[in-house]
Amino acid sequence: MTGTPTSGPTGPRPEDTRPAPARTLDVGRLAQADRVARRREEGTGAGDGTVSQRNPYRPTMKRTWFLATKEYRAYFLREGAAVVVGLFVLNLMLGMVSMAAGLDSWTWWVELQRNPFVLVLNVLALAAAVLHTVSWDQLTPSIIKVQRGTRFLADGWIIAQQVLLLVIFAAVMVAWLGGAWS
């Protein structure tokens, strides 16, 4: 019998001869099994008579979770800015519908733009657009790596190139639209 896991050089190992530990009654498990059996009998569960035994871990989360770290605050600010931009877009869509509806509704929409709430909305939408532009410009160097020879271009140069292209594009658009309106 040498070589078997339950025997040693002089016979059975002492730990193998001990009696198995007595099983303790797990009341919580019995109660859960009782609830599952009752749900099966009642036909309640996943909708088709089956009952899921899965009990996922759901950590508790405070209502102020986004204030915990700097990254969470920045994430919450970016996501909240999307709501402001959405309201701004709805305002512009209302203007397009008003323009299509006729002169009276267009005049009403233009007067609506003088409302202090709409003015604040426009300023907040501009701030949200600037926030998104800055945050994306800061993320770009981690996405795009420009290699020149054996060295990589510094992150600041990539951001500077983006800002320069944005300024050139804005200047061209202002010149083009300014020329069209004069």
Q: What mean pLDDT do residues 24-32 have?
A: 73
Please say if the pLDDT value at position 47 is more than 70.
no
Cα dihedral across residues 38, 43, 49, 55: positive or negative = negative
Instruction: Please write the tens of the pLDDT for every residue from 139-154.
Output: 888 888 888 889 998 8
Output b/e per residue, 28-53; b: 16+ Cβ within 10 A: eeeeeeeeeeebeeeeeeeeeeebee
pTM: 0.55
Instruction: Please write the tens of the pLDDT for every residue from 95-141.
Output: 999 999 999 999 999 999 999 999 999 999 999 999 988 888 888 88
Strand partners, 143: none
Contacts of 159 (CB under 8 A, 6+ apart): 137, 138, 140, 141
CA contacts within 13 A on the Cβ side of 95? 11
Q: What percent of the chain has pLDDT over 70?
A: 76
Instruction: Please write the tens of the pLDDT for every residue from 50-96.
Output: 555 677 777 888 889 888 999 889 888 888 899 999 999 999 999 99
Give the CA distances from residue 62 to residues 10, 58, 66, 80, 111, in Å, rounded to whole numbers and listed in that order. Answer: 61, 13, 9, 18, 43
